[in-house]
Amino acid sequence: MPDQALLIVDLQNDFCPGGALAVPEGDQVVAPANRLADAFGCVLQTQDWHPPGHHSFASEHPGKEPMETAQMDYGEQTLWPDHCVQGSEGARFHPDLDTRPTEAIFRKGFRPEIDSYSAFYENDHTTPTGLAGYLRERGTERLFLCGLAADFCVKWSVLDACAEGFETVVVEDATRGIDADGSLEAAWQEMAEAGATFARSEEALEAAG
């Protein structure tokens, strides 16, 4: 069996119903994520972790509303409601998520001027988080991903995981999308084109052994 790991992306209060940037049914991901975390030998998490006044917040751009875009040094950036502010309740993991099996938590989005969707690179696509090196040093060949949001942080993590040469599997019933302007449908297609495969959690649990 290839050496494998599970990455749970941004399963935080602000991305769940009632949160600042709620993903529809985001909380439904918690139960399958817990089952997966219990089964995998190596479990990692990401945590969206923005300083107050982060540049991706629409509130920092006078005249702009959340979900509009702005031009940044590194290209076009979607503007979001203030969310996942460092140390806030919204930045905490969902209270029902069992984080005990988690070995390492990679925080991202903590540089004030640059957003970070992917678990591997910031949105400039060049500043690494160290996750690729961590996985390589551990000998990981296959990476399973779940969490939020399917069309943003999960998608960009999946595309980078494929580009970094990991066999990449999206656990399709353990993720949900924001779906801004058809972004969810596009995300499934982009992930498939990048070479990712898709599995139901039962299949992922079987693969975890």
Binding interface with Zn ion (CB under 5 A): 48, 109
Residue 107: beta bridge partners? 47
If contact means CB under 5 to 8 A according to the sort of partner, which of Zn ion, ligand VGL, none does residue 153 touch? ligand VGL
Smaller CB distance to ligand VGL: residue 153 or 169?
Answer: 153
Stretch that binds ligand VGL, among 28-36, 128-136, 137-145, 146-154 (CB under 6 A): 146-154
Residue 137 to residue 5: CA distance in whole angstroms: 13
> Residue 120, interface with ligand VGL (CB under 6 A)?
no
Stretch that binds ligand VGL, among 69-77, 148-156, 157-165, 201-209 (CB under 6 A): 148-156
If contact means CB under 5 to 8 A according to the sort of partner, which of ligand VGL, Zn ion, none does residue 161 touch? none
Residues 6+ apart with CB under 8 A from 181: none
Smaller CB distance to Zn ion: residue 106 or 166?
Answer: 106
Of all residues in the shown chain, the one whose CB is closest to Zn ion is 48
Angle (CA) 110 24 13, round 5°: 40
Q: Give the residue, chosen from 153, 169, 204, 208, that forms a contact with ligand VGL under the rule CB under 6 A.
A: 153
User: How many other CB atoms are there within 10 angstroms of residue 29's CB atom?
Assistant: 29
> Residue 48, interface with ligand VGL (CB under 6 A)?
yes
CB of 178 to Zn ion, least distance (A): 11
Residue 6 to residue 41: CA distance in whole angstroms: 8
One-letter amino acid at 207 equals: A
Show the tokens assigned to 4.
Answer: 């494998």
Residue 88 to residue 126: CA distance in whole angstroms: 28
Q: Which residues form the catalytic set? A: 10, 108, 153
Q: Give the residue, chosen from 49, 57, 80, 106, that forms a contact with ligand VGL under the rule CB under 6 A.
A: 80
CB of 96 to ligand VGL, least distance (A): 18
Task: Compute CA distances 8 → 5, 68, 86, 91, 179, whole Å.
Answer: 10, 27, 19, 15, 19
Judge whether 148 and 10 are in contact, CB under 8 Å: yes
Q: What is the binding site for ligand VGL (CB under 6 A)?
A: 10, 15, 48, 80, 117, 148-149, 152-153
